[in-house]
Amino acid sequence: MCSGRVDPVHILRAFSNGIDGVFIGGCRLDECNYITHGNYFALNMVLLYKKILEHIGLNPERLRIEFMSGAEANVYVEHANDFINKVKELGPIGKSEGLANDELQSKLKEVEKLVPYIKLEKKEKLSVRLKNKEEQDKLFTSDEIDRLFSEVVSYYIDPEKCQACMTCARRCPVEAIISAKNQIHVIDQEKCIKCGTCFEACPSRFGAVTKITGGPVPPPLPEGERTVVKKSKEKN
């Protein structure tokens, strides 16, 4: 499997299941068997999530990526053994970092929920091909990651503009939009993964979906007040 297919969710779930370290092995850079050069994406993804691990209080050394050819079994063994020794030195995940298991699980779950949002926000940087290690180390900064989490976007459906067309509800990949015929739609903020699909899908003539950055989301209308009054009827 191409290393570019390793999703951040795979890494986060491994840690959630108590795995103390995650090692990713990929083909040498510029020697990809596919035109996608997915190993560059894998490298950038690891660089990003090492910073995110640090942000939530985990040692970033618990995540590592190395590159080698399929014929270099000795290189793989060297890298794998070195990583195993490093993980043993770090000890059980969370324990050496002073994080209680409940706190660790909560932090990992919150990051996992934001994976689609993070992919969109860092799409350009995740696709660059930096060969210089110094440039790679500077690709993502701690301040940048702090802003990423402090300025998380939310989406809200304006009840004054929603016409219950159900377009956003049909397009939502996680069924986070509460909808019914002739009923103003409401986004379930607990289910929402911040992907922005509803924002893009809402017909421009309505413009009902609002993007909110780093601020509170207005409370939804009570169920008994969600009946849509069509614009044409309002005029009559």
Count of CB atoms situated within 10 Å of the CB of 188 = 13
Report the amino acid identity of residue 112: E
**Amino acid type, 190:** E
Asked whether 177 and 150 are in contact (CB, 8 A), the reply is no
CATH class of the domain at 153-230: alpha beta
Residue identified by tokens 């007040």 is 225
| Alpha-carbon gap, residue 49 to 68, rounded angstroms | 21
Q: Are 54 and 11 in contact (CB under 8 A)?
A: no
Mean pLDDT on 104-117 = 94
- Report pLDDT for 142: 96
pTM: 0.83
pLDDT of 231 over the 70 cut: no
* 219's tokens: 């409370």
Tokens of 225: 């007040």
Q: Give the 3-state DSSP-derived string for the chain, with helices as H, strands as E and coil as C.
A: CCHHHCCHHHHHHHHHCCCCCEEEEECCCCCCCCCCCHHHHHHHHHHHHHHHHHHCCCCHHHEEEEECCCCCHHHHHHHHHHHHHHHHHHCCCCCCCCCCHHHHHHHHHHHHHCHHHHHHHCHHHHCCCCCCHHHHHCCCCHHHHHHHHHCCEEEEECCCCCCCCCHHHHHCCCCCEEEECCEEEEECCCCCCCCCHHHHHCCCCCCCEEEEECCCCCCCCCHHHCECCCHHHHHC
> Has residue 68 got a pLDDT over 90?
yes
- The yes-or-no verdict on residue 235 having pLDDT over 70 is no
What's the pLDDT score for residue 230?
67
Q: Name which residue leads in pLDDT, 233 or 177.
A: 177
Average pLDDT over residues 148-173: 95
On average, the pLDDT of the chain sits at 93
The distance from CA 152 to its chain's CA centroid, rounded to whole angstroms, is 11
Q: Name the phi and psi angles at 24, rounded to 5.
A: -120, 130
Q: Does residue 233 register a pLDDT over 70? A: no
- Structure tokens belonging to residue 118: 């993070």
List where CATH 3.30.70.20 sits in the chain.
Answer: 153-230
